[in-house]
Amino acid sequence: MPVGYRQLPPLSEIPGIRLAAVAAGIRYQGRDDLVVMELAAGSRAAAVFTRNAFCAAPVVVAREHLHRAMPRYLLINSGNANAGTGEAGLAAARDCCQALAGLAGCDAAQVLPFSTGVIGQQLPLERVRSALPAALSALSASAWAPVAEAIKTTDTVAKGVSRQLQIDGRSVTVTGIAKGAGMIRPDMATMLAYLATDAKVEAESLRACLQAAVARSFNRITVDGDTSTNDACVLVATGAAGGAEVSRAHPDYPALCEVVAQVCERLAELIVRDAEGATKFVTVEVSGGADSRECLQVAYAVAQSPLVKTALFASDPNWGRILAAVGRAGLQDLDVSRVEIFLDEVCIVHRGGVAPEYREADGQRVMDQEEIRIDIRLGRGSARERVWTSDLSHDYVRINAEYRS
């Protein structure tokens, strides 16, 4: 089970959004695996996608469609990534969009496709097509929870969060769901995440809001250092709350962006809490860097070290592994005599060596916890960054070894 998280909380409806999840038998039997999300006419959408060179066919098609038109529908399947499938995969993604568009009475470019699951297998088109009428018939404003369940792959729980704020005196809601548990070091977003608000937001301002939120959330997590072929994050603004259009010049724009970022941060955190086989939720904080880049360089060197991650799994206060990871992070002219490292509030490294006051029992007390903070102070500047990660357990190996079986 996830660290410190047991079940999906109640999720608020977003006026202008209807959703449905149905069973298409794409890979899983006896569970929903196909999702349709309908966006009200006039909705605006922004998205970010993986930077993996082998991006999946639906990513290619979704990018193309988003450049041509604002979407009216999102089509999501789990169990099959439609990645590494060449021209046939691209044709399948386009065919799915065309099939949904034909039933819904819109242009195919107004459908954005998304897939997650096993790489290298062709998408079973007929199963998707056959399930679309049932999905359209089942569309409901209250289906956020079953949709969050349907997009899961190796996730053990559905992930979602809702937040409210006031814009021009009107109540506005932001709801988001996400899936992801492995193949996580996003290079834009996470595996799949969908957020919606009933605020009315200008298109370019919506894009800026999403990009800023992603930078401090989904781009600050790692489970195993692997960027997926299918990563995508979408933010939709339906405008159903009414009121004046929100742009970057609007006095409530910063508040909207802050709430969107909070939703993204919570979803990103839940992905790490539900990391494959995880028993620990770990925050790596790096401060005193010359700039953000080198803080992240150090943070990821520690967060992705198999030696550090296995020590975390064993609850072993083997601080030398953290020290070594900081040292190999590649910072130029690092003065190790100025580096300090803490486990929570316990100083383990001072002036490049073991802290005089450090006692193994103190380190053990922290490592025995489910939630741990590794605090690294570089003493080179004022920059600060944070990354969330997990431990590396026997179950991570088992889950990924058995993934296709």
The encoded tokens of residue 91 equal 């044709």
Pairing state between β 371-377 and 340-343: antiparallel
The encoded tokens of residue 14 equal 């977003």
Alpha helices of 105-217 — where are they, by DSSP H?
125-137, 144-150, 203-215
Q: In Å, what is the CA distance from 343 to each residue of 26, 46, 173? A: 45, 39, 37
The residues annotated with a catalytic role in the active site are: 190
Sign of dihedral through CA atoms 103, 106, 108, 114?
negative
User: What secondary structure, in 3-state letters, does 347-405 show?
Assistant: EEEECCEECCCCCHHHHHHHHCCCEEEEEEECCCCCEEEEEEEECCCHHHHHHHHCCCC
CA 204 to chain centre: 22
User: What secondary structure, in 3-state letters, does 150-181 show?
Assistant: HCCCCCCCCEEEEEEEEECCEEEEEEEEEECC
The helix (run of H) or strand (run of E) holding residue 44 is: strand 44-49
